[in-house]
A = this chain, B = another copy of it.
Amino acid sequence: MSDRKSTPPPGRPTMKDVATRAGVGLSTVSRVVSGKGGVTRDKVRAVERAIRDLGYSRNEFAHTLRTGSARTIGVVVTRISDPFYSVFVGAIEKRAQERDLLVLVASAGDDARENERVLRRMLGRRLDGLIVISHEEADLSFLQTERDAGTPIVFADRPPHGLKADLVVVDNRRGAADAVEHLAAAGHTRIACIAHVAGQFTSEERQRGFAEGMRAASLPTPPELTVVVEDEVDVCVEALREMFSLPEPPTALFTTNSRTTKAVLKASRLLGLQPALVGFDDFELADLLSPAITTIAQDPWAIGEAAADLLFERIAGLIGPERRIVLGTRIIERGSGEIAPRSSGL
C-alpha cells in the first residue's frame, strides 16, 4: 500500500518529528509549543508550519508527567443521570471552563466498593482537585493521604465518613422545619413525615428538622406518623394505606426528597387520597400539577458553584482549617400545603 521510504513514523507525530521536519532542535519545538519566548521569528514559523503539516498536537500525558499538573479537576457523584447531580455538575463545569480546566466526571453508583475504585482511579490522574458527593457507607479515610499530598478535596451534599474536609451542604434541618411551619400555619396538627431510606445524611437531617419544627409548633410526633420508605410507588402505596387507616390519620405530609415526593403523589393518586403536602427538593412541573406542589427548594447549581469556588481557592493555595459552607433553602408556596385539614381516612 504505502512505501516505507517516505512514510511518516507510525502513530501520532511527536515533537521529535516536528523538530526533524522543521530542521530545528527538539527544545526549540518545545519552546514554541509552550508559548515561551526566546525563539527567532523564522524558527517559530518553521515550527508552526511543521506542526500544521504533520497535524501535531501535544501529548498531554507526557506533558503532565513532566510538569505534574493536568489542569483537570475531578467530580464524583452517585448517579449523573439524576437531575440534581447533573445540574450540580453543570455548574462545576461552567466554573471550570472559565478557568480553562477540564472536568473529569465519574458516577460511583450505589456500591461502596465501586465508589472507592472510582475514587482511586481518579486519584491516579493527579488531579488538581476533587469534588465528591460521597457514598454514605464508604469509609473515605484513604483519601487523607491524597489530601496530605496536596490535592484539595471538597465534599458536597453530605459529609464524608472517616475524614474531616471542606463541605458544602444546605440547611436541611431548617428547610424541613420551614415545611412544618408552613403546614402548621395552614391549620394542620396531624402531620406525617415520609422519609427516604434511612442511613442517608440528608434524610436524617430532614427528619430531625421535621421533629424540631413539630416541637416548635407544639405538635405531637407520634412514631406511627413517621415512616421511612423507598421511592418505589408500591412501597409508598402500602405505607400510605397503613397510615391512613389509623384512628387519627394525618391530614398533611412532609416528604424528605423529590423522588419520594413523586412516588407519594402517585401513590396518593392511586389511593384516591389528597392530603396536604410539602416536599423537600423542588422539581420540574411541580407548578403544573393540581394542586401545584409546595416545595422546599435547594439549588444544586448554587451548591456546585460554591463547591467549585471553594475548591479553586484551595487550589490557589488557601490554607486553614476545613470549611463548612451552609446554603439556605427556600420555600416555594404553590398551594398543596394549604389544603384544609379535614380528617381524611380511606
Which A residues fall within an 8 A CB radius of B?
Answer: 11-12, 55, 57-65, 68, 70, 79-83, 85-87, 89-91, 93, 97, 102-107, 109, 114, 118, 120-126, 142, 144-146, 148-149, 262, 265-266, 269, 283-285, 287-290, 301
Q: Decide: A142 near B62, CB < 8 A? Known: A11-B149, A93-B107, A288-B265.
A: no
Q: Which residues of B contact A68 (CB under 8 A)?
A: 11
A106's partner among B63, B87, B93 (CB-CB below 8 A) is: B93
Choose one: B86, B148, B290; the contact of A80 (CB below 8 Å): B86
Choose from B61, B85, B109 the contact partner of A125 (Cβ within 8 Å).
B61
Closest to A90 in B: B81
* Nearest residue, chain B, Cβ from A12: B149
Identify A86's interface contact among B86, B104, B124, CB under 8 A.
B86
Closest A-B pairs by Cβ, 9 of them: A55-B145, A81-B90, A86-B86, A60-B124, A105-B105, A81-B87, A61-B65, A61-B64, A61-B61
Nearest Cβ on chain B to A299's Cβ, whole angstroms: 12
A151 to chain B, nearest CB (A): 9
- A-B pairs with beta carbons under 8 Å apart, 16 shown: A11-B149, A55-B144, A57-B124, A59-B124, A60-B124, A79-B90, A82-B86, A97-B114, A102-B121, A104-B104, A262-B285, A265-B288, A269-B288, A283-B284, A283-B285, A285-B285
CA distance A65 to B120 in the complex (A): 19
Which of these, B106, B125, B144, B284, contacts A284 with CB under 8 Å? B284
Contact of A57 among B64, B120, B269 (CB under 8 A): B120
Closest Cβ of chain B: how far from A49's Cβ, in Å? 14
Question: Which B residues touch A109, using CB under 8 A?
Answer: 97
| Residues of the B chain whose Cβ atoms lie less than 8 Å from the Cβ of A142 | 55
Task: List, in ascending order, chain B residues with CB within 8 A of A283's CB.
Answer: 284-285
Within the complex, the shortest CB–CB distance from A235 to chain B, in Å, comes to 17
In the complex, what residues of B have CB within 8 A of residue A287's CB?
266
Smallest beta-carbon distance A245→chain B, Å? 24
The docked-state distance in angstroms from the alpha carbon of A126 to that of B145 is 29
Residues on B with C-beta less than 8 A from A55 are 142, 144-146, 148-149
Q: Which of A62, A63, A91 has the most CB of B within 10 A?
A: A62
* Measured CA separation A60–B125 after assembly (Å): 5
Contact assessment for B70 and A81 in the assembled complex, using a CB-CB cutoff below 8 Å: no
Which listed residue, B89, B97, B102, B124, touches A58 by the CB 8 Å rule? B124
A72 to B154, CA, bound (A): 24
Q: Which residues of B contact A146 (CB under 8 A)?
A: 55, 57
Q: Are A107 and B90 in contact (CB under 8 A)?
A: yes
What B residues does A102 contact at CB under 8 A?
104, 106, 121-122, 125
Residue from A61, A82, A104, A126 with most neighbouring chain B CB atoms (10 Å): A61
* In the complex, residue of chain B having the shortest beta-carbon distance to the beta carbon of A118: B97
Cβ of A268 to closest chain B Cβ, rounded Å: 10
